[in-house]
Amino acid sequence: MKCGLIGLSTVGKSTIFNLLTKGNVEVRKYGGGTADEPNVGVTTVPDPRLDFLTYTYTPKKHTPATVEFVDVAGMVPGKARDGGLSPTLLAALREVDSLLHVVRCFAAEDIPHPQGSIDPARDAELLDLELLLADLAVVERRIERLTSDLAKHALDNAALGEKELALLHRLHDGLEAGTPIRAQLLTEGEEHLVRGYRFLSQKPVVVVANIDESQLGADNPAPELAAYAEEHALALVPLCGAVELDLARMDAADAELFMADLGIEESGRDRLIREAYHALRLISFFTVGEDECRAWTLTAGCSAVAAAEKIHSDIARGFIRAEVVGFDVLKAEGSWNAAKTKGLLRLEGKEYPVRDGDAISFRFSV
Closest contact distance (angstroms) between CB of 252 and ligand GTP is 22
Q: Which is nearer to Mg ion, 101 or 182 (by Cβ)?
A: 101
Does residue 21 interact with Mg ion by CB under 5 A? no
Q: Which is nearer to Mg ion, 45 or 73 (by Cβ)?
A: 73
Closest contact distance (angstroms) between CB of 7 and Mg ion is 9
Residues 6+ apart with CB under 8 A from 52: 331
Neighbours of 354 (CB within 10 A): 26
9 touches, from ligand GTP, Mg ion, none (C-beta below 5 to 8 Å by class):
ligand GTP
215: Cα within 13 Å, side-chain hemisphere:
19
Whether the Cβ atoms of residue 207 and residue 128 lie closer than 8 Å to each other: no
The rounded distance, in Å, linking the Cα atoms of 142 and 165 is 8
The rounded distance, in Å, linking the Cα atoms of 167 and 105 is 38
E strand map for 190-267: 205-210, 235-239
Q: Which is nearer to Mg ion, 248 or 316 (by Cβ)?
A: 248
State which H helix or E strand residue 97 sits in: none
* Sheet-wide strand order for 358-364: 61-63, 292-299, 282-287, 358-364, 319-326, 346-348
Q: Which is nearer to ligand GTP, 7 or 221 (by Cβ)?
A: 7
Q: Which is nearer to Mg ion, 14 or 43 (by Cβ)?
A: 14
38 touches, from ligand GTP, Mg ion, none (C-beta below 5 to 8 Å by class):
none
Neighbours of 297 (CB within 10 A): 18
Residue ranges in contact with ligand GTP by CB under 6 A:
7, 9-15, 30, 33, 73-74, 106, 108, 111, 210, 240-242
Closest contact distance (angstroms) between CB of 122 and ligand GTP is 16
Of 9-17, 112-120, 146-154, 264-272, the segment contacting Mg ion by CB under 5 A is 9-17
Tell me 286's DSSP state.
E
Does residue 10 interact with Mg ion by CB under 5 A? no
Does residue 14 interact with Mg ion by CB under 5 A? yes
Of 13-21, 82-90, 185-193, 196-204, the segment contacting Mg ion by CB under 5 A is 13-21
- Give the interface with Mg ion as residue ranges (CB under 5 A): 13-14
